[in-house]
């Protein structure tokens, strides 16, 4: 079932309506409510599991929805849900009081959330535990860090090498990450000084985490999340329960080639049946969405050949090409978050039509506006 969330008068959001398809891309400037909407979606879908987790870590939230909002969004943010707020999923309104209700049975999650601040989960190569974060830190970051910490310690087996691992990722995806991010560096779990920390082994050097490139550091927590979602289910990341994967700003610190590698991994996640939700400031996911929607009506003529060429996979093994086998059954939508006066509203810009009279669509929510303006100025002055 396709989920639709409607939010009105919630923080900076005046009116937002998002339909989550197989791949949903959210664009817009900073502080326009994308993360708030996505965190709210997870809270509504996974409320019972979240309450159990907060209780496990001694957060006192029961019988007061404002306490839940404080613990979930971060200290001082409970007022985000006012009397004027209206939130619904699939047309069913959710009252603030609906956040209450602790389950006595062990609950599972539907939404796997990879937050934009994921680099903060790593402390000099060591994943931080839930209680190391202060009360201003959003739940999604604290929990993401905690489950990765447990997963990397007990869920990856006894192998101390974290990348590459033979039993994780498709060969084409693994090669792509190596070529675009790690450049033959091997990521190992080092246990010197009594603590497990990630280090990179390359050219007879053992490089500590803090001296990695910004992109490598940003990418590492996301890679571990991909391991959990695509590998065998474990006690800490039981991927058989997840329906949605939220990835905020997958492009953080990455070269466009590496972003393309991440998009290839996202296609595999779609192939496995996950519904993917991206928030981004990069044009590359939108370029893929535009190409996909242009080619989809002609798929019976071209098959998957254009997509294989797009990702440089023409010569790959059939098993790797298999991630595209059901691609044309998928649906991709793109939404823009933009300020209309003092509040944010959303609009569907899925066509991404460069010839549209609507500048929000033709300029891809502003992401391509500079390139368009530069081309216009060059044309005016040189031809």
Concatenated DSSP letters of 114-141: E-TTGGGGEETTEEPPGGGS-TTS-HHH
DSSP annotation string for 280-349: -S-SHHHHHHHHHHHHGGGHHHHTTHHHHHHTT-TTS-HHHHGGGTTGGG--EEEEEEEEETTEEEEEE-
Cβ-Cβ contacts under 8 Å for 377 (sequence gap 6 or more): none
In order along the chain (383 residues), what is the average pLDDT of each group of 10 residues? 91 96 96 95 95 91 87 90 95 92 84 96 92 95 95 74 89 93 93 81 90 95 95 87 97 94 96 97 95 88 90 87 93 96 96 91 81 63 62
Token pair of 336 as six digits: 């823009």
Structure tokens at 344: 């944010």
Question: What is the Cα–Cα distance from 114 to 105, expressed in whole angstroms?
Answer: 26
59 by DSSP, 3-state: which? Answer: coil
pLDDT of 300: 73
Q: Give me the pLDDT at residue 101, please.
A: 82
DSSP state of 213: -
Strand 332-340, strand 23-27: pairing: parallel
The C-alpha atoms of residue 71 and residue 54 are separated, in whole angstroms, by: 8
Cα diameter, the chain:
72
The contacts of residue 233 (CB under 8 Å, 6+ apart) are 239, 240
- Dihedral sign, CA of 317, 318, 323, 329? positive
- Give the 3-state secondary structure of residue 267: helix
Q: What is the pLDDT of residue 230?
A: 93
- Whether the CB-CB separation of 225 and 209 falls below 8 Å is answered with no
Answer for the pair 254, 215: CB distance below 8 angstroms, yes or no.
Answer: yes
Measured distance CA(220)–CA(236) in Å, rounded: 18
Rounded Cα distance between 203 and 198, Å, is 17
pTM (two decimals): 0.94
């Amino acid at each position: 079932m396709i989920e639709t969330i409607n939010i009105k008068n919630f923080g900076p959001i005046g009116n937002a309506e998002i339909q989550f398809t197989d791949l949903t891309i959210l664009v817009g400037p900073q502080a326009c409510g994308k993360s708030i909407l996505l965190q709210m979606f997870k809270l509504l879908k996974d409320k019972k599991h979240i309450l159990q987790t907060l209780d496990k870590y001694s957060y006192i939230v029961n019988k007061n929805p404002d306490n839940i909002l404080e613990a979930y969004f971060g200290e001082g943010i409970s007022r985000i849900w006012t009397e004027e707020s209206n939130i619904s999923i699939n047309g069913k309104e959710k009252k603030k009081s609906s956040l209450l209700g602790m389950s006595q049975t062990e609950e599972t999650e539907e939404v796997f959330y990879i937050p934009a601040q994921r680099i903060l989960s790593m402390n000099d190569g060591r994943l931080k535990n839930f209680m190391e974060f202060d009360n201003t830190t959003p739940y999604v970051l604290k929990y993401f860090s905690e489950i990765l910490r447990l997963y990397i310690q007990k869920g990856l087996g006894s192998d101390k090498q974290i990348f590459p691992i033979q039993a994780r990722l498709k060969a084409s995806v693994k090669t792509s990450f190596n070529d675009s991010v790690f450049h033959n560096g091997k990521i190992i779990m080092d246990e010197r000084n009594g603590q497990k920390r990630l280090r990179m082994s390359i050219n007879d050097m053992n490089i500590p985490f803090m001296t990695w490139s910004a992109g490598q550091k940003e990418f590492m927590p996301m890679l571990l999340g991909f391991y959990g979602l695509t590998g065998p289910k474990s006690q800490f990341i039981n991927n058989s329960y997840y329906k949605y994967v939220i990835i905020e700003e997958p492009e953080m610190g990455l070269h466009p080639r590496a972003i393309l590698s991440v998009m290839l991994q996202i296609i595999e996640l779609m192939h496995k049946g996950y519904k993917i939700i991206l928030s981004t400031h990069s044009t590359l996911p939108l370029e893929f969405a535009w190409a996909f929607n242009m080619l989809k009506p002609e798929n019976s003529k071209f098959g998957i050949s254009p997509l294989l060429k797009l990702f440089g996979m023409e010569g790959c093994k059939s098993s790797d090409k298999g991630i595209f086998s059901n691609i044309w059954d998928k649906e991709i939508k793109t939404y823009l978050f933009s300020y209309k006066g003092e509040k944010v509203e959303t609009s569907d810009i899925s066509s991404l039509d460069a010839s549209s009279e609507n500048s929000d669509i033709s300029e891809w929510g502003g992401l391509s506006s500079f390139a368009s303006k530069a081309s216009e100025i060059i044309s005016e002055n040189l031809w």
